[in-house]
Amino acid sequence: MSYRLLSSNIINTEWSALLKLQNFPNSNHIPNFFLLNRVRCCSNNYNNLEMEDLDPTKLIVINDQRSLDRKISAIRNAGPSKLQVIADFDATLTRYWVNGLRGQSSHGLLKQGNPEYDAKRQALFEYYHPLEFSPAIPLEEKTKLMEEWWGKTHGLLIEGGLTYDAIKSSVANSNIAFRDGVVELFELLEKKDIPVLIFSAGLADIIEEVLRQKVHRYFKNIKIVSNQMVFDDSGRLVSFKGKLIHSLNKNEHALDMATPLHDQTGGIDGAVADNASVKQRTNVLLLGDHTGDLGMSDGLNYENRVSVGFLMTDPCGEWWILQLSCVQSLMVNPILLILVTFIHPIQHLSLG
C-alpha cells in the first residue's frame, strides 16, 4: 500500500545485511550525503575510499566481512534442504522505477472501476502515508494507525464493489515489473526445492495475478502471506480472509496463513511443502525494503539469517537510505548478484 520514504541514517550493529540500490532514473544525481553515509558505515578496510571511487551501479561495501562470510559459508555448507527465502513483494521483488516512472505497488495499481471509491482510497493514502514514516509517532501508536488505514481501505474495496475482473484489468494496465533476475532466482530455488515465502502487506490476489501476467508460469515452491480476498460466485469481493497484515506487523507467526500459488483455474498444481517442514529450515535469506520487513522471520528459530535491503529514491531526486536495525554491509547491484554469490554455489551441494 505504501510508497517507502526512508531515513538517511545508517545504523551500525551486529547483523549481516545487504543494502541494494537499483532501478533509479539517474545514478549521477546521488547527493554527497548519501555517499558519505555509505563510507561511514564501512569497516576499516574501506575507510580510505574516496567518494569518486564509489560506483553507485556496481559498489559492494561490507561493514563486517567476517560475519557475513561466516553466515554465507554456514548456509552453503548446510545445503539447500536447510534454506528458505522470505521476501517482501512491493519494491523488493518488483522494481522501484519502471519505464522512468515510479513503479506501482500491489495496492496502488488497483482500480475498482468506481472513480468515487478510487478517490476515497487515494485520500486515505495522502492522510496516512506521511504518518507511516513520521519519526515523531511512537511505534505502538503508529501500528494502530496502520491497522486503521488498512482496515478502512479494505472496507472501501468491499463497499465499492471490487470484482476479480477489475483486478485482472488493473494488473494488465499497471506500471509494475519484476527486478532483473527475480524470475531466474525463483527458477533456481524451485529446482532445488527451496521454499519462497512472499510476505506482503499488499493483496495476495493481486500478487498472484501479477505473477500470472508478468511471469506466465506457476512455482510450486512459492507461498504467499498477504491480505487474501474472498469473492462470491459472481466474482464480487465480499470479505477478507484471516488476520489483517500491514507494513508494521509482518512476522513469521503468520506462516499458518501462507497459501500456495494457484493456477489459472484456481487449482493447486503439484505437491507443495507443508508449513511445519518449512519451519524446520533454519537458514534464512530475507529480502525487504522497509524496516517492518525485518519482522518477517520473527518466531522462526533460525540459525543463520542474511538480510538483504533495497535502497530506493523518490521521483523528486531526494535520496533515502533504508534504516535496517542490523546493517553490516551495503550493496549496489542487480538481484542477479544474489544468484552468483549466494544461491548458485548451493545448487552444487547435495540435498542433506
Q: Which of 29-33, 92-96, 241-245, 246-250 has the lowest mean pLDDT?
A: 29-33
Whole-number percent of the chain with pLDDT over 90 = 34
In the numeric block, which cell numbers belong to residue 340?
552468483
Question: For residue 129, what is the domain's CATH number?
Answer: 1.10.150.340
**257 lies in the same domain as 121:** no
Please give the positions annotated as active site. Answer: 88, 90
**303 lies in the same domain as 197:** yes
Q: Which of 149-163, 198-212, 245-259, 262-276 has the lowest mean pLDDT?
A: 262-276
Q: What mean pLDDT comes out for the span 278-307?
A: 80
Calpha distance 229→241 (Å, rounded): 6
Number of domains in the chain: 2
Q: Kindly state whether residue 117 falls inside one of the protein's structural domains.
A: yes
Amino acid at 292: G
Q: Kindly state whether residue 166 falls inside one of the protein's structural domains.
A: no
Kindly give, in sequence order, each residue whose CB lies less than 8 Å from that of residue 267, ignoring residues fewer than 6 positions away: none
**118 lies in the same domain as 248:** no
Q: What is the DSSP letter of 103?
A: P
The CA R_g of the chain, rounded to the nearest whole Å, is 20
In the numeric block, which cell numbers belong to residue 12?
551500525
Q: Kindly state whether residue 106 falls inside one of the protein's structural domains.
A: no
- First and final C-alpha spacing in the chain: 39
Q: Which sign does the torsion angle of CA 200, 318, 142, 296 carry?
A: positive
> Which residues constitute the domain of residue 206?
17-98+177-232+241-346
**265 lies in the same domain as 216:** yes
Q: What mean pLDDT comes out for the span 9-28?
A: 31
**205 lies in the same domain as 130:** no
**128 lies in the same domain as 79:** no
Q: Kindly state whether residue 73 falls inside one of the protein's structural domains.
A: yes
**196 lies in the same domain as 75:** yes
pLDDT at 101 over 50: yes
**193 lies in the same domain as 86:** yes
Can you give the pTM of this predicted structure? 0.72
Q: What is the pLDDT of residues 133-167, one digit of tens each?
A: 898 999 999 999 999 999 999 999 999 999 999 99
